[in-house]
Structure 1
Amino acid sequence: MRFIVSLIFLLSQFALQAQVNTSVVDLDEILKKTQDFYKNESSYYIEIQYKLFENHKDSHPLSTYKGEMGKMKNTYYNNVLGTEMYVGNDIMIKASHDQKAIEVSNNTPNGAEAIFNISGFLKSFKDYKVVQKEEVIRCELLAPELTSLPYGKIILYINKKDYSLQRQVMYYLHSSEYKNEKGEMVVSYPKLEINFSQVKPVSLLEKEVFNKSYYIVQNKGVIQPANNFANYKVINRI
C-alpha cells in the first residue's frame, strides 16, 4: 500500500481562515521560520523514515520504509519508494525504478522550491491549534467536514530551537483495503508518520544526483535517458 506524501517544509507564507486556539503563538510566523531555516541552508541532506499504521489509534506500524532528500544550491533531490526526483529551476524529473520510466516536465515559475510550496493545500484547513512544549512546537491542522483533502488532520512537530521539522503525522480520511498477516482482507483508516533527521552534510549524497545529465540527455529538443537509465522509457511533458 503506497501513499502520495506532501512533505510539509520549506513552506511559503499563507493565511489560514481559522479559529486560533492560542493567543501567544502565530502559526504563520512559525512556519515562516521553518521555511527560512531550510531556505537559508545552501546545501543539506536529510534522512526520512515513514511509518504506516493500520488505524489512527494504532501504535505499532504496519510497515516502515526509508527515504532521503537533499539540497545543493537551487537544486533539490528526493528518493523514496523506488522513485528519484530531481527538481531544478527550470525542469522536474521523476525516475521510477519500478515502472522503468522517466517523466520530464517544466518546473513552475517559482523555481525549485515550488515543489514544497503547499500554501494552497494548507489554506484548505479550517482550524489549527499550536502548543509550545519545552523543546518542541506542536501544530495541529484540522480539515473541514466536507473536504477534498485525503487527510482529516495533520500534526507537525517543530524543533523549538531552530524551527526545523522533526515529525509529521497524517490522519487519512479515506479507508484502505489490504491483507493482514493472516491473509484476511481488512478495511481501515490509516495513519502515516514521517520522521525527519537533523540536517546533515550533503556530501552523504552522490553529487551526480544533483546534475540533470545524470538522468537525461537533451539534444536538439529530443530527450533520451542517460546511461544510468538506459532502458527506461521517457515521458516528455515539456
Structure 2
Amino acid sequence: MSPRVTSRSSRTALLRTRAAVLAAGLGASAVLGAGVAAAATPTATTAATTAVSGSAHAVQAQAAAQAKAAELAKKAATAKAAQAKQAKPAAAKKKAASWVAPVKGYTKTASFAQNGARWQSTHSGQDFAVPVGTKVVAAHGGTVVKAGGNGAGDGPAYGNAVVIKHGNGSYSQYAHLSKVNVRIGQVVAAGQQIALSGNTGNSSGPHLHFEIRTTPNYGTAVDPIAFLRGQGLSL
C-alpha cells in the first residue's frame, strides 16, 4: 500500500474516533440533562407539598387558637355568673346582718294585730316568750330616745321599756323588761345589749314585747315581722 493511502486511512480513523467521542459526549449531556430535569421535578413537588402542609397547619393553628379563646371566654362568663350568684346572697346576708333578732332562744307567741282581751284594740307588736333575765339587744343601730318605767312614757301596760330611733326613720320598742341597761341619748349598735327581759306591766308571763314604729310613740306600730323580712331578716 502506498504511503498516501495509509495516510488517508489514518485520517479517516481519527475522524471516526473524534465523531464517536463527540457523540458519546452529547449522549452524556443528554443523559445528564434528563437527570437534572428528573431531579428538579421531585424538588418542586416537595416544595409545593411543604407549602400546602404549612398552610394547613396555619389554618389548624388559627382554628385551635379561636377555639381556645372561645373556651376562655365561656369560662370567664361562667365565672362571672357564679360570682354574681354568690354576690346576691352575700349582699342579702350583709343587709340582714345590720338587723338582728332582739332575743335568742325565743318562741313566738302573740303576733301583730292579733285580737285579745289583754289589749285595748289589737296587739301592737310581736311577743317573744323567753325566761326572765334573757339578754335583749338592739335590733338595729341607733339612738335611745326613751328608756325607763311606765312604758318609757307610753303607759304602765308596757312596764319597763326602751325605744330606739334608727337612721332609716323607723323606731324599735322593747317592753316588759326586768332591767334597762341604756339611757336616753345613748348611741347603740345592732346586737348591743340594752336590757334584760322580764314580766313587768300588763304581761301574762315572761316575754319580750317588740314593736317597729314610724314615730317614737304608741299608736304608730307596723307589723315588725314583715318589716324585718323586708330588711332581709327572717324570724
Query: Please, what TM-score do these two structures have when normalized by structure 1?
Result: 0.19
Q: Greater strand share, 1 or 2?
A: 1
Higher relative contact order (CA 8 A, sep 6+): 1
Answer 1 or 2: which has greater helix percent.
2
TM-score normalised to the size of structure 2?
0.19
